[in-house]
Structure 1
Amino acid sequence: MQRASNVVVIATRRSPDSVSIAQYYAEKRKLPSTHLFTINCVPQEEVPLVEYRDTIEKPVMELLRQRGLELSVDYLVLTRGVPLRIREGGFSVDGALMCAPLKRPFNTQPTEANLNPYFGKNERFSRRKYGFYLATRLDGYTMQHIRDLIDNALKAKRANGVFVLDLDPKRNSGGYRTINESMRAAAKLLKSRGFEVILDEDEAFVGAVRDIIGYYSWGSNDHKFNVLSYRSLRFRPGSIAETAVSTSARTFRFTDKGQSLIADLIAQGATGVKGYVSEPYTAALCRAEVMFDLYTRGRTIAESLWAASPFILWKDLVVGDPLCAPFA
């Protein structure tokens, strides 16, 4: 069983918001005081590699050792203010930190060293077994959105909701085709198990759907993307989502410039969302049939989104409470 003793939450003391979120999460999940870590990194979105090593990785790994949590903890939860991206190579801080025990090199192209040994596994994640942690993040446009993210994870229960899979029929070559086929496979699987599914294979971008429990689309990469439609989606507590967008987690500050952001989906009630801090290539994107299959079989947000991800130590970032598992 996944429980609070499997989690540490990490804040930077240089950001009152970061500390406040960590305390809110720790209180709601009844984390032991030893599982709340405060480090001294600068609250900024991007960090040089040397600074990441000195102010994030080193102190977190030392605290895990000092508190005897190195092997008993499975999940690291980062909070707003802890940097998102490592400047050299555009790697995700979350991905780097969770893989720190593996001591793998950073590769500018994904290689065998980046393959995720947990990919596709329908089993409880364990740091002892896999040798690394799973990281998630509590972030969003506003403090209220982040508190809602935590509250929605606690409210989540098995309930009727709709799965929305919005293909782009024009993206049918190379790696793009893989993502469309992944959505089709997910729709078939979910329907066979009695879930309500909207599989949209038309050109129009889907909007104005309520009670979403699972969502996957091309976001702003859809040829018919409509930002108002994207922002009209509404999610149930316990919902998970992914968009095939290269820089969907590049920032959690509101902007109308650049590609669509997962922060919009968080603002609209999504409880667990995967995004990317820089170009990951389509090969790194979640496999829709894996993430939704595992989640509806009772795996947690962290397990479902990371087990659907082919790579680790890459550009990936998962937002949400790692323990949320409404179908468990």
Structure 2
Amino acid sequence: MMFERRCVGRAFVMKRIGLFLGFLASLASALGATNAGEGGSVVVVYNANLRESKELADYYAKRREIPANQVFGFDLPSNETMTRKEFQDRLQQPLLKKLEKAGLLAFRPDAKPAGKKTPTEVVRPVEAAVRYAALCYGVPLRILADPKLEEDGAASMRPELRRNEAAVDNELALLPLRHSPIPLFGPLLNRTFGATNASTLNPTNGILMVARLDGPSVEIARGLIDKAIQAETEGLWGRAYFDARGLTNGSSKVGDDWVKGAAEITRRLGFECVVDDRDERFPVTFPMSQIAFYAGWYEYDGQVSGPFTRPQVEFMPGAFAYHLHSFSAQTIRSATQNWVGPLLDKGATATMGSVYEPYLEFTPNLAIFFHRLIHLGFSFGEAAYACQPYLSWQTTVVGDPLYRPFAKKPLTQHENLFQRKSKLIEWSHLKVVNINLANDVPSTELIQYLIDVPELQQSSVLLEKLADLYFSGSKFDEALEAYKKAARQPSSRQQKIRVILASARTLEFVGKQEEASQTYQQFVKDFLDYPDLAGIYRKLVSLAEQLKKPGEKEQYQRELDRLGSPLPPKS
């Protein structure tokens, strides 16, 4: 045995955890984030012409304890688009009137602003009992462009921004300002952009945080509520995947900067992170397991691709997934078109997207989103609006706006998992290791930490991490043993694929070609639907050559021919 579990007492283990997580616990404690009793801060909007829209609104109100007098139905179109007039006459103005009548928003006229030559009365929001609005499945998604609408000042706007189409929720976000004249063309500056104090995201500061409980079906929309509450209760656990493009200059580099910034924040806060820095997207063969976070961009045809096209995608309860594309949310009623609908269909709990062309600089700043959500403990709605530099534009926010996955202190959460004997504690241990790796604690100490963890021997998650640490320290025999043991433990399908292939590659690396060949042979038997079997057979052909087994080489070559993927010619 290259490693063994030591029998250690609970007090010793908890002391070690306390030492490793102490600084993070103090940060979380100072935030005082909470998701308790926030139901009163939400107004729920549904389409009165769709039974399932009202049913979803009632379900959300029940689960989040939202008062019945804060649930409003309106006579709305049943499709995803509405005209500007329909938006104003059937949703925007009626909602504003109901909020005022119910005492949920109060306004006061101010004297004309200093410097104005013409007397102008400005009506400002002064009191607000609600901060969020949740639009239920059936409420339209997009406001169509109105080419007949003429406004002063439009001519001074950049030509590509002289447009008045918008996302319904992004336009409603400025509802508290609608008693005063504000332009409909172009994006408007978000006064709360970059906020670090969540309380500033308030209608009294001109913003209503609007999100959608929506998706390809009402069942999927309902699931957004359930999965958010589950993650609040049990924690948001899993891995983080970031798909950058490897840009080093040019105006588009800012998109890469956002993705990489989000990845660095997530890594330092304890998540297992993978960053793809190539221009291509993650391939369909990539073993994307146990997804807590995904953020990436771009795909020129605008259609979902890579691992997200597989029949099963391993989103964890509470997962946030976002793909930046100009038309990622052109529709969200489809499980196959664009990005937002398919991500929701495959199990994501929260996302954002663009309903029309937004242009890169007017899209959400991902680094800010991840920092506010994970580090500062913002709700999904708060993080989504703190990261948007502009409003009255093209971004739609999909998910429970109250969803607050990081309200609990890490130590408290770990203790709760320990008391409940929850298997999820393996993820908390993984977070301990990753936080300390990010703070330059020697990997040898963290290897010892993992060996001391009682859950190690039954945890594929922790065994894989142990193997990775051994490998990075050039302890290849120990790494192999840990990979093999991880592969034997219950795990998700994609993690098992990754661990087995890591084991096979390590065997090749240390010169154990015979055992590597046996591992690949077993792999093709166990994973007949693996999307790159041809790649595995090419490895088997190469290994058969090295082992001087012409019969096996011929057999694997026939499999390659059957798959229609012959070996490339030797150079």
TM-score using structure 2 length: 0.53
Q: Against the structure 1 CA distance between its residues 226 and 7, is the aligned structure 2 distance closer, same or farther, given a 3 Å change threshold?
A: closer
How far has the Cα of 1:222 moved from its partner? 8.5
| Aligned partners of 2:136 and 2:213 also within 8 Å | yes
How far has the Cα of 1:241 moved from its partner? 2.5
> Please, which moves more after superposition, 95-104 or 214-223?
214-223
| Aligned partners of 1:118 and 1:307 also within 8 Å | yes
- Residues 165-314 of structure 1 correspond to what in structure 2 (within 5 A)? 165-169=242-246, 174-206=250-282, 207-221=286-300, 227-232=305-310, 233-254=313-334, 256=336, 260-297=338-375, 298-314=377-393
| Aligned partners of 2:40 and 2:65 also within 8 Å | no
Matching residue's letter, 2:364? C
> Please, which moves more after superposition, 239-248 or 33-42?
239-248
| Aligned partners of 1:205 and 1:226 also within 8 Å | no
Matching residue's letter, 1:18? S
Q: Which runs of 4+ in 1 moved over 6 A?
A: none
> Please, which moves more after superposition, 77-86 or 180-189?
180-189
- Residues 71-150 of structure 1 correspond to what in structure 2 (within 5 A)? 71-88=128-145, 89-103=164-178, 104-108=182-186, 110=187, 114-125=188-199, 126-150=201-225
Q: What SS does structure 1 have at the residue aligned with 2:252?
A: helix
Aligned equivalent of 1:14: 49
Distance in 2 separating the partners of 1:144 and 1:279 = 29
Aligned equivalent of 2:102: 67
Matching residue's letter, 1:186? A
Distance in 2 separating the partners of 1:323 and 1:31 = 11
Distance in 1 separating the partners of 2:268 and 2:317 = 23
Distance in 2 separating the partners of 1:132 and 1:119 = 11
How far has the Cα of 1:327 moved from its partner? 0.5
| Aligned partners of 2:281 and 2:306 also within 8 Å | no
Q: Against the structure 1 CA distance between its residues 25 and 256, is the aligned structure 2 distance closer, same or farther, given a 3 Å change threshold?
A: closer
Which runs of 5 or more residues in structure 1 are unaligned? Answer: none
Query: What whole-Å deviation, never above 9, does each CA across 1:8-46 have from its counterpart, x for those lacking one?
Result: 110011111211111111111121111111111122211
**Does 1:38 find its partner at 2:73?**
yes
| Aligned partners of 1:219 and 1:230 also within 8 Å | no
Distance in 2 separating the partners of 1:226 and 1:256 = 7
**Does 1:154 find its partner at 2:229?**
yes
| Aligned partners of 1:166 and 1:200 also within 8 Å | yes
Distance in 2 separating the partners of 1:197 and 1:129 = 38
| Aligned partners of 2:137 and 2:218 also within 8 Å | no
Q: With a CA cutoff of 8 Å and minimum separation of 6, indicate the structure with the bigger relative contact order.
A: 1
Among candidates 53, 62, 74, match of residue 27 of structure 1: 62
How far has the Cα of 1:310 moved from its partner? 1.1
Q: What SS does structure 1 have at the residue aligned with 2:390?
A: coil
Q: Against the structure 1 CA distance between its residues 46 and 159, is the aligned structure 2 distance closer, same or farther, given a 3 Å change threshold?
A: closer
Distance in 2 separating the partners of 1:242 and 1:310 = 17
| Aligned partners of 1:205 and 1:229 also within 8 Å | no
Q: Against the structure 1 CA distance between its residues 256 and 264, is the aligned structure 2 distance closer, same or farther, given a 3 Å change threshold?
A: closer
User: Percent of pairs identical after alignment?
Assistant: 30
Distance in 2 separating the partners of 1:272 and 1:226 = 16
Distance in 2 separating the partners of 1:198 and 1:311 = 30
The alignment yields a C-alpha RMSD, in angstroms, of 2.0
Query: What whole-Å deviation, never above 9, does each CA across 1:273-297 have from its counterpart, x for those lacking one?
Result: 0111101110122222111111112
Larger Rg: 2
Q: What SS does structure 2 have at the residue aligned with 1:220?
A: coil
How far has the Cα of 1:226 moved from its partner? 6.8
Q: Against the structure 1 CA distance between its residues 33 and 255, is the aligned structure 2 distance closer, same or farther, given a 3 Å change threshold?
A: closer
Distance in 2 separating the partners of 1:160 and 1:261 = 23
Q: What SS does structure 2 have at the residue aligned with 1:323?
A: coil
How far has the Cα of 1:191 moved from its partner? 2.1
Distance in 2 separating the partners of 1:148 and 1:173 = 41
| Aligned partners of 1:12 and 1:18 also within 8 Å | yes
